[in-house]
Amino acid sequence: MDENERESEEQETTRKSGMAYVAGLSIFFSVLSFMGVGWLLDRWLGTSWLMLAGIVLGAVAGFYQFIRIISQIK
């Protein structure tokens, strides 16, 4: 294997690792942001269920993004 092939393979591995990292973070930040919006709405409206709804919606949105990003890794 020559130097160019090795460098190309390392770049591809780095790209795939970065995409996997972003996919994992997308779940975390989706849940966190939707939960935060739900919490703010709960405080503003005087309810107690919107934060839980935000967590569920954030998980759904995060997993959608996760699957979308992971499907691009080949």
Asked whether residue 62 is assigned to any structural domain, the reply reads yes
Query: Which residues form the domain of 45?
Result: 30-74
Residue 44 lies in a domain: yes
In a domain, 67, yes or no: yes
Q: Is residue 23 part of a domain?
A: no
> Which of 22, 14, 13 lies closest to 70 in space, CA to CA?
22
User: pLDDT tens, 30-57?
Assistant: 999 999 999 999 999 999 999 999 999 9
Q: Of 24-28, 63-67, 70-74, which gets the smallest average pLDDT?
A: 70-74
Q: Is residue 34 part of a domain?
A: yes
User: Does residue 65 contact residue 26 with C-beta atoms inside 8 Å?
Assistant: yes
Number of domain units in the chain: 1
Average pLDDT value over all residues in the chain: 93
- 25 — pLDDT class (breaks 50, 70, 90): very high
Is residue 61, in this structure, part of any structural domain at all? yes
Cβ-contact 37, 9 below 8 angstroms = no
In percent, the amount of the chain with pLDDT more than 90 equals 76
Task: Answer yes or no: is 50 within a domain.
Answer: yes
